Amino acid sequence: MTITATNFNFKNLKKRYQGKVRDVYHLENDLLIIVVTDRISAFDVILPQPIPYKGQVLNQIANIFLDATADIAPNWKIAMPDPNVTIGFYCQPIPIEIIVRGYLTGSSWREYKNGIRNICGNILPSGMREHEKFPSPIITPTTKAIHGHDVNISKNDILKQGILTENEYEEIEHIALSLFERGSKIAEQRGLILVDTKYEFGKKDGKIFLIDEIHTPDSSRYFYAEDYEERFSKGLSPRQLSKEFVREWLMENGFMGQPNQQIPEMTDKIVQSISERYIELYEKLTGKAFVKYATNDIHERIKQNIVNFLETHLF
């Protein structure tokens, strides 16, 4: 059984809304309950088939990294009462995503090979190759779209539009690069390269907080370190653990989220292979065996774990 959607009615519920992957419950005392479902999105489109255990993988990896980076910046997390649930503080979201890139790959490569050399204010030299490492990580922010496609935005436009002050942007930039450095070191210990990732931030009591997930396969791309240099020198694509293989499969079958494009059939074999890749990343990145929690009555399990936590902690 997978989690495609939830519809709980918790005490003091203020509002409920559904993101691409997460179901968010906002309580009156400014607590957030986030249920990470098994939905999967690509090119900002929710695909028709859920992926078994994907929500559990994302939630558990995010919690590990939120704990491992709490000394760099405060974050929204309070507790993880269920493998698919995180409870934390509500922070006023800042409507941009901060993407840190260590390598020219993915969407940045797709822009680059089409002749674009200015990506969000970063001027890239000609002659770079796909998957080439930047001399130092670059930041390529995007707008945060609730529906539809995110759009690249530069630091100058963020400041001009009043989304952030210059001091706030510099603080967020510093935090993002520090988080990326920490994530890269952890990945290196596991034989992986953190290639690129996205961070989201919010404000609480006038302070910048890290929110949402970090360093998961939905928000990040990882290469295997052991043969990256050899494959790059031969012009071969690196072996990677990320959601990029889903995007590549979609593109091979004529889908990039554009109007009138048909999502290809997601067979049981495709769904199972995606699930296995998510679990593989969890085990590779954490060094722990993945424990598949019972899914025979998953909605009741989630509800009871949340209710028990709220009652126990008097929220």
- Please indicate, yes or no, whether residues 223 and 290 belong to a single structural domain of this protein: no
pLDDT of residue 108: 95
Block residue for tokens 């028990």: 308
Same domain, 103 and 174: yes
Query: 146 falls in which pLDDT band (50, 70, 90)?
Result: low
pLDDT of residue 115: 96
Burial 43-80 (b: 16+ CB within 10 A, else e): bebbbebbbbbbbbbbbbbbbbbbebbeebbbbbbeeb
Same domain, 231 and 124: yes
- CATH number of the domain to which 56 belongs: 3.30.200.20
**pLDDT of residue 124 exceeding 80:** yes
Q: What confidence tier does 145 reach under pLDDT thresholds 50, 70, 90?
A: low
Domain count, the chain: 2
- Whether 257 is covered by a domain: the verdict is no
**pLDDT tens digits for range 203-256:** 999 999 999 999 998 899 999 999 999 999 999 999 988 787 898 899 999 999
Beta bridge partners of 77: 88
For residue 251, is it within any domain?
no
Q: What is the mean pLDDT of the chain?
A: 94
- Do 61 and 84 form a contact (C-beta atoms < 8 A)? no
- Average pLDDT score over residue span 82-100: 97
| CATH number of the structural domain spanning residue 173 | 3.30.470.20
Query: pLDDT value at position 314?
Result: 64
Q: Quick check: is 261 in a domain?
A: no
Residue of 195, 210, 168, 204 lying closest to 68 (CA atoms)? 210
Structural domain boundaries, residue 160:
93-246
Residues 134 and 177 in one domain: yes
Instruction: Give the pLDDT confidence of 250-274 residue by residue, as tens digits.
Output: 999 999 999 999 999 999 999 999 9
Residues 55 and 177 in one domain: no
Q: What is the pLDDT of residues 284-300, one digit of tens each?
A: 999 999 999 877 899 99
Q: Is residue 272 part of a domain?
A: yes
Q: Is residue 87 domain-shared with residue 130, that is, in the same domain?
A: no
Residues 6+ apart with CB under 8 A from 225: 188, 191, 192, 193
Q: Tell me the average pLDDT across 121-127.
A: 95
Looking at the structure, do residues 139 and 196 belong to the same domain, yes or no?
yes
Q: Is residue 258 part of a domain?
A: no
Judge whether 260 lies within some domain.
Answer: no
Looking at the structure, tell me whether residues 100 and 210 fall in a common domain.
yes
Higher-scoring residue by pLDDT: 150, 78? 78
